Amino acid sequence: MGERRESYQEVRTSYLTAAESAVALLGDPAVAAAWDKPSALTEFSVAGLAGHLGHQLVRVDGLLAAEPTPGVEPIGLLEHYARSPWVEAGLDHEINVGIRRAGEQSAAAGPAALAATTAELLERQRATLPAAPADRVLDLPSGWSLLLDDFLMTRMMELVVHSDDLAASVGVETPALPARVVDPVVDLLARLAVHRHGATAVIRTLSRAERAPATISAF
């Protein structure tokens, strides 16, 4: 039991580290200066991308506040991504259009308000996450459930990936994060890439450039 507790608290600490870094990036003056410009992520404005980044904390807060449905069995991480239609949907698919629209809505009050809101959420989550039970289950709007710490892993990946997108969009360095954040994100992306493209494609890309496929992107 002690081993499990250390494991789940480590996930929560790593998530909070990634969230703190994202909040700091959202408050960078370079983000406000580029607010209305196109971002490095196709079809996203800087504002919309910043809103999408900040929304990761909003999602955690909202799901934590909801009472879980008794007796519901959570699914695993890979099954979660296999069921999620956005993973392989095109840019013009209604799901991805909806994601971009939600990002713009999250950013509607402007850069200062977004940075302040996410900072408040971060402080609240610093108190609530360590106290949540190890077996806490979250019911997702998609119709299935995940363990809290698996969901935090999905948000940590989003925070890391989109922090890089936002930093590239506004001309600042990608935030440096510790191994306890980067390593599990790389592991998750690698597993998703294997699931999507097969082990051989991933192995070749990492070791044999002359036989590498065009892409092993996880998404």
pLDDT at 14: 97
Q: Tell me the pLDDT of the chain averaged across its residues.
A: 91
Q: Which residues pair with 146 in a beta bridge?
A: 138
Burial degree of 35 (CB within 10 A; 0-12, 13-18, 19+): middle
Under the banding of pLDDT at 50, 70 and 90, the label for residue 86 is low
Determine contact, residues 68/145, Cβ cutoff 8 Å.
Answer: yes
Tokens describing residue 83: 């069921």
CA 160 to chain centre: 7
CA 10 to chain centre: 17
pLDDT at 216: 83
Least-confidence region, from 37-46, 84-93, 182-191, 204-213: 84-93
| 81-to-10, 46, 78, 150, 183 alpha-carbon distances in Å | 22, 26, 5, 11, 19
* Residue 154 CB neighbours (<10 A): 20
- Inform me whether the pLDDT recorded for 77 exceeds 60: yes
d(CA 219, CA 177): 22
Q: How many CA atoms lie within 13 A of 151 on its CB side?
A: 25
| 21-to-14, 79, 178 alpha-carbon distances in Å | 11, 28, 11
- Inform me whether the pLDDT recorded for 172 exceeds 80: yes
**Which domains are seen in the chain, by residue range?**
2-174 (1.20.120.450)
Task: Compare 122 and 142 and report the one with higher pLDDT.
Answer: 122
Specify the amino acid at residue 46: V
**Tens-place pLDDT, residues 93-129:** 777 787 889 899 999 999 999 999 999 999 999 999 9
DSSP for residue 137: E
d(CA 77, CA 114): 29
